[in-house]
């Protein structure tokens, strides 16, 4: 907490002392007028003292008086009471100037597909682990933003709401596992709607969803186009990333390691990306569609998105003022009390 000395020194050195209300300053004109009238009267009175019988002065008892520096002292105190009271009413203030940089961050929802196809090993060690590593790096590089995480497969749920706590968010990303969502499938539409619902502040000018998937929408509920229009109405921009090699990739069976998922005809199921839908989703609100065929490409995509969604840093100066009227009022009250005491103690006669 700043002391009065600190406030006063800073304000005086920066030349930022001011009075918030100048109207009472008119009353200060009365101080020299009162002083002139008082001293003129006292001078006149000194020459006008008359004694009815001068011979009777010798008969007056001799008294001792307390020697005083000036008989005008009480009046001088009164004048200073007026001065300090008026200064207090004028609200003296000392200002301090600060320069503050305010960063307008971005709200970003990372929307991650965790369907079994993300276990495909065209990324090392697999798509899911490669995506998690890239997401954690992205979070570390965007610490001025609020970032959250939605995961989806046959349905979507919020793994972590928007937060600036990067350590917590990285931990949530690390804990993501294929199979966290019990229902298989790829519910891209529901994932978008769930992500949009996680933006609590409509006044944030930049809201972004980064959707990563390796499949195509195949679940009931919101279709991707309807979900994208909902996002557009809410002012949310969507970047979509299709992850996976250009060659058909079999989907590992999480229940039987070393084997692949087969359909009812005992045929191996391969991943398929609906690039047209992902491109349409991104273009609806000025986003962009990316295709990541390996881990390095995926990392570059997230870096590029981070650069596209830059945040403006605005630096501005502002001045805060500390009120000092209470100190002037305190001095006025002390002087007023001293003046009251002087009426009883100043120049009292001692027989």
Selection from 179, 129, 172 nearest residue 148 by Cα: 172
Tell me the backbone φ, ψ of residue 22, rounded to 5 degrees: -90, -15
Selection from 259, 256, 258, 289 nearest residue 274 by Cα: 289
d(CA 148, CA 110): 6
Q: Are 94 and 324 in contact (CB under 8 A)?
A: yes
Q: Are 42 and 124 in contact (CB under 8 A)?
A: no
Give the pLDDT score at 317: 59
d(CA 94, CA 12): 7
d(CA 95, CA 10): 8
d(CA 286, CA 266): 42
Contact partners, residue 207, CB within 8 Å, separation at least 6: 106, 107, 199, 234, 235, 236, 237
Show the domains of the chain with their CATH numbers.
4-48+56-98+318-350 (no CATH), 105-311 (3.40.50.410)
d(CA 311, CA 268): 46
d(CA 212, CA 184): 16
Selection from 270, 202, 213 nearest residue 239 by Cα: 213
Whether the full predicted model's pTM is greater than 0.85, yes or no, is no
Helix, strand, or coil here: 86? helix
DSSP 8-class letter at 269: P
Structure tokens of 256?
A: 């039987």
Tell me the backbone φ, ψ of residue 203, rounded to 5 degrees: -80, -10
d(CA 287, CA 228): 11
Q: Specify the residue for token string 């839908």.
A: 277
Give pLDDT tens digits along the chain (351 positions). 445 455 444 544 455 778 888 888 888 888 888 888 888 877 766 655 544 555 554 555 554 554 454 677 788 888 899 999 998 898 888 876 565 555 566 889 999 998 888 888 888 888 889 999 999 999 998 888 889 999 998 889 899 999 989 899 999 999 998 877 767 778 899 999 999 999 987 777 788 999 998 877 878 888 889 999 999 998 899 999 988 877 777 877 877 877 888 888 888 888 778 888 899 999 887 889 998 888 888 888 888 888 776 655 455 556 677 888 888 899 989 988 888 887 766 554 444
Give the pLDDT score at 351: 44
Count the alpha carbons within 13 Å of 97 in the hemisphere toward its beta carbon.
8
d(CA 272, CA 250): 10
Cis previous bond, 125, omega within 30 = yes
């Amino acid at each position: 907490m700043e002391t009065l000395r600190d406030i006063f020194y800073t304000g005086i050195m920066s030349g930022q002392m001011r009075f918030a209300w100048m109207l009472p300053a008119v009353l200060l004109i009365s101080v020299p007028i009162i002083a002139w009238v008082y001293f003129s009267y006292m001078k006149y009175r000194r020459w006008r003292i008359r004694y009815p019988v001068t011979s009777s002065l010798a008969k007056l008892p001799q008294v001792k008086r307390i020697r005083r520096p000036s008989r005008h002292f009480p009046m001088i105190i009164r004048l200073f009471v007026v001065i300090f009271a008026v200064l207090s009413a004028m609200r003296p203030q000392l200002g301090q100037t600060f320069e503050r940089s305010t960063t307008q961050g971005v709200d970003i929802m990372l929307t991650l597909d965790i369907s079994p196809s993300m276990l495909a090993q065209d990324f090392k060690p697999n798509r899911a682990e490669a995506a998690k590593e890239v997401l954690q790096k992205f979070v570390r590089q965007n610490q001025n933003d609020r970032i959250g995480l939605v995961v989806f497969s046959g349905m979507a749920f919020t793994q972590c709401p928007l937060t600036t706590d990067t350590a917590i968010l990285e931990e949530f990303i690390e804990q993501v596992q294929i199979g966290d969502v019990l229902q298989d499938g790829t519910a891209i539409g529901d994932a978008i709607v769930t992500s949009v619902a996680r933006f609590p502040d409509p006044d944030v000018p930049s809201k972004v969803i980064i959707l990563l998937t390796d499949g195509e929408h195949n679940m009931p509920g919101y279709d991707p186009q309807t979900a994208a229009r909902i996002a557009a109405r809410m002012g949310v921009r969507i970047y979509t990333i299709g992850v996976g090699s250009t060659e058909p990739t079999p989907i590992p069976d999480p229940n039987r390691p070393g084997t692949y998922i087969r359909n009812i005809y005992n045929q191996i199921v391969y991943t398929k990306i609906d690039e047209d839908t992902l491109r349409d989703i991104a273009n609806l609100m000025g986003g962009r569609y990316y295709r990541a065929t390996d881990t390095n490409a995926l990392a570059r995509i997230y870096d590029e998105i981070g650069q596209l969604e830059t945040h403006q840093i605005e630096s501005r100066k502002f001045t805060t003022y500390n009120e000092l009227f209470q100190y002037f009022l305190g001095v006025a009250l002390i002087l007023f009390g001293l003046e009251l005491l002087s009426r009883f103690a100043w120049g009292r006669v001692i027989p």
